[in-house]
Amino acid sequence: MTASAAVAIIAIALTAAVLDRRAKGEIGRQQIVLDTALENMSQGLCMFDAEGKIILFNERYAAMLRRSDMQLTGRLLLDILREEAAKGQWNGDAEQFFARLVEDAREGRTTTDVVRRFERSIRVVNQPMRGGGWVATFEDITEWLDAQAKISHMARHDALTNLANRVLFHEQLEQGLRRAAANDQLAVFCLDLDHFKDINDSLGHPIGDALLKQVGQRLKATVGEHDTVARLGGDEFAVVQIGRSEEAAARALARRIVEVISAPYEIADHQIVIGVSIGISLSPQDGSNPDELLKNADLALYRAKADGRGTYRFFETGMDARAQARRLLDMDMRAALQRDEFQPYYQPIRDVVSDRVVAFEALLRWNHPERGLISPINFIPLAEETGLIVQLGELVLHRACADAATWPDDIGVAVNLSPVQFKSPNLIASVTEALRNSGLAARRLELEITESVLLQNSEATLTTLHDLRAMGVRISLDDFGTGYSSLSYLRSFPFDKIKIDRSFVSELATREDSVAIIRAVTGLGRSLGIVTTAEGVENDAQLELLRREGCTQAQGYLFSQPRPACEVGMMLDRPRLRASA
């Protein structure tokens, strides 16, 4: 029973009691009780006899329907309605409306309606009375309806951009699919801002939020008037292009979006530039329901990102299989971490002049129960994408420090760090803990980073690098010559060591310029007091040439392949273990 129905019933009971007592001459006190009850109700109440004449009403009723200055008691509702219709306050068929009320009461039917009067929404409940006639209660539910509308808007829209959210987008996509004629196409675009997290991290969330809002506005202004734009979460947006969505039209829209979103933004005195990657799926060929189309657009988005971002890709069959394989690998890796299947192998680094081992580089291996030993190049890229590298990196760091603590005091250990680990706030803490737990002296730990680490947010990265160095840890620049090979990186941070990439070493015999590059790097190293290590040394001729060029250290299969920790002792004792070992 609704609250107003309950109130009506109480009122009926009270009124009946009063009428009964009034008949017996016992008015006085009861009349006061009734009046008080009626006038303190938040609802309007009006009681009609079987013919539809007003017997009783409260002030709230008269005020709600603006009938306060009318003579109401004893009047026929029909007359009042006619009068109001004449004044233009009521537009409906007064006779028909009135006849229905009388009949409902006679038949004992309770009715509920919501009517609009004077810009308000009023819920009216008509409750028949036993002796004939009816009681009507009136409740103003305008605010309640507004709140309801607000809640339902919130449930379907993104609060920040006021764009459709995932729920509404799904509904609209479904609707679009239903409406699309059999030979009509519909295109779904999944968008992801490139490196949005960097903006959030470096400029703060308020600026990140402002940027998302502006991206939403630009998107809305770019798509067609019947197209839908949604924010699916974070920096993910989606568009449905409806109507003329043959591939060429989708391509044109994708190009326009990339161009419009990439134009610079002016936010709180910052000039911000951000790119966007887009994946597109077309209905009907790429899917006939929202889930399938979104999933395939997402796979295409993945491709667009892998292909260098700032671009768009259409879905192609086969993307699914690749994505499936990656998902499996990711799951497998997480399980492998639990099962403790990852372990560092160690490869010696030798001093070229003294021909002695000075350190070992920890190189991660996955000891898979079925697939055997898996090389890091087969799982590290995915771990970097999913972020699992942070856990893997910690594992290597802790193991390597613990292992090295058991080696002679003059032997160091080198650990590779992924650029992703620099984005994690725990790096310093994790290095500190690895050193403390193992008891390894900081000077024995070398951290190897690649140029790509310096490319990302250089301020924060340089601070982290300086902090690590202040702890006594040494920093090496790995794979030098493969990336941007800019000597300016060597000036941006005081590296302790440069590792010359093995591609130069392997080409020593065949390419003149490889010798020239090695000469330049070793020369630079000498003048800056930086150790130079040649990677991938496989034969004596290479070693001899490197020694001549003044390279400080060498590492490669000529001395040993990476081996498990238990073989470190043997690698120290035996001057050379060839690849065959």
Binding residues (CB under 6 A) for ligand C2E: these are 347, 363-364, 375-377, 380, 393, 396, 416-418, 448, 478-479, 502, 535-538, 555-557, 562
Binding flags for Mg ion, 403-442, as an x/- string (CB under 5 A) = -------------x--------------------------
Judged by CB under 5 A, the stretch of 334-342, 394-402, 511-519, 527-535 that binds Mg ion is 527-535
Residues 6+ apart with CB under 8 A from 54: 46, 47, 48, 72, 73, 74, 75, 77
* Least distance to Mg ion, CB of residue 359, Å: 11
Q: By three-state DSSP, how is residue 43 classified? A: coil
Provide the 8-state DSSP code for 244. Answer: S
Considering the complex, state which of residue 347 and residue 457 has its C-beta at the smaller distance from ligand C2E: 347
Phi and psi torsions of 132, nearest 5°: 100, 160
| Residue spans of alpha helices (H) in 24-140 | 28-39, 59-64, 77-86, 94-107
* Least distance to ligand C2E, CB of residue 197, Å: 19
Judged by CB under 5 A, the stretch of 40-48, 249-257, 444-452, 506-514 that binds Mg ion is 444-452
Q: What is the 3-state secondary structure (H, E, C) of 131-192?
A: CCCEEEEEEECHHHHHHHHHHHHHHHECCCCCCECHHHHHHHHHHHHHHCCCCCEEEEEEEE
192 lies in the site for Mg ion, by CB under 5 A: no
Residues 6+ apart with CB under 8 A from 301: 190, 191, 192, 277, 278, 279, 313
CA–CA separation, 8 and 109 (whole Å): 14
Considering the complex, state which of residue 128 and residue 556 has its C-beta at the smaller distance from ligand C2E: 556
Among ligand C2E, Mg ion, none, residue 363 binds (CB under 5-8 Å by kind): ligand C2E
DSSP assignment of 367-403 equals: EETTTEEE-GGGTHHHHHHHTTHHHHHHHHHHHHHHH
> Is 192:277 a contact under the CB 8 Å cutoff?
yes
Phi and psi torsions of 329, nearest 5°: -60, -40
CA–CA separation, 489 and 456 (whole Å): 12
- Determine which residue in the list 235, 451, 478, 549 makes contact with Mg ion, applying CB under 5 A: 478
> Is 27:17 a contact under the CB 8 Å cutoff?
no
Distance of CA 68 to the CA centre of its chain: 57
Considering the complex, state which of residue 37 and residue 358 has its C-beta at the smaller distance from ligand C2E: 358
Judged by CB under 5 A, the stretch of 201-209, 258-266, 476-484, 521-529 that binds Mg ion is 476-484
Considering the complex, state which of residue 522 and residue 560 has its C-beta at the smaller distance from ligand C2E: 560
* Least distance to ligand C2E, CB of residue 196, Å: 24
* Least distance to ligand C2E, CB of residue 344, Å: 6
CA–CA separation, 275 and 145 (whole Å): 42
> Which residues within the stretch 138-177 sit at the binding site for Mg ion (CB under 5 A)?
none
* Least distance to ligand C2E, CB of residue 347, Å: 6
Judged by CB under 5 A, the stretch of 92-100, 382-390, 533-541, 542-550 that binds Mg ion is 533-541
227 lies in the site for Mg ion, by CB under 5 A: no
235 lies in the site for Mg ion, by CB under 5 A: no
Distance of CA 416 to the CA centre of its chain: 29
How many residues bind Mg ion, per CB under 5 A? Answer: 5
* Least distance to ligand C2E, CB of residue 416, Å: 4
Considering the complex, state which of residue 242 and residue 537 has its C-beta at the smaller distance from ligand C2E: 537
CA–CA separation, 44 and 120 (whole Å): 14
* Least distance to ligand C2E, CB of residue 353, Å: 20
* Least distance to Mg ion, CB of residue 384, Å: 15
CA–CA separation, 451 and 499 (whole Å): 11
Among Mg ion, ligand C2E, none, residue 314 binds (CB under 5-8 Å by kind): none
Considering the complex, state which of residue 134 and residue 557 has its C-beta at the smaller distance from ligand C2E: 557
Among Mg ion, ligand C2E, none, residue 536 binds (CB under 5-8 Å by kind): ligand C2E
Judged by CB under 5 A, the stretch of 242-250, 374-382, 474-482, 511-519 that binds Mg ion is 474-482
448 lies in the site for Mg ion, by CB under 5 A: yes
Considering the complex, state which of residue 478 and residue 549 has its C-beta at the smaller distance from ligand C2E: 478
Alpha-carbon dihedral of residues 66, 71, 77, 79, nearest 10 degrees? -100
Q: Return the residue nearest ligand C2E (CB atom).
A: 556
Structure tokens at 208: 């990140």
Structure tokens at 290: 């929202």
Judged by CB under 5 A, the stretch of 229-237, 350-358, 535-543, 571-579 that binds Mg ion is 535-543
Considering the complex, state which of residue 209 and residue 384 has its C-beta at the smaller distance from ligand C2E: 384
Q: Given the DSSP bridges, would you call strands 342-351 and 553-554 parallel, antiparallel or unpaired?
A: antiparallel
* Least distance to Mg ion, CB of residue 564, Å: 18
Considering the complex, state which of residue 250 and residue 392 has its C-beta at the smaller distance from ligand C2E: 392
* Least distance to ligand C2E, CB of residue 550, Å: 20
Among ligand C2E, Mg ion, none, residue 557 binds (CB under 5-8 Å by kind): ligand C2E
* Least distance to ligand C2E, CB of residue 380, Å: 5
CA–CA separation, 155 and 170 (whole Å): 13
- Type of residue found at 259: E
Sign of CA dihedral 175, 179, 181, 186: negative
CA–CA separation, 136 and 113 (whole Å): 11
Among Mg ion, ligand C2E, none, residue 303 binds (CB under 5-8 Å by kind): none
479 lies in the site for Mg ion, by CB under 5 A: yes
Alpha-carbon dihedral of residues 216, 222, 228, 234, nearest 10 degrees? -30
Considering the complex, state which of residue 235 and residue 478 has its C-beta at the smaller distance from ligand C2E: 478
Q: What is the binding site for Mg ion (CB under 5 A)? A: 416, 448, 478-479, 535
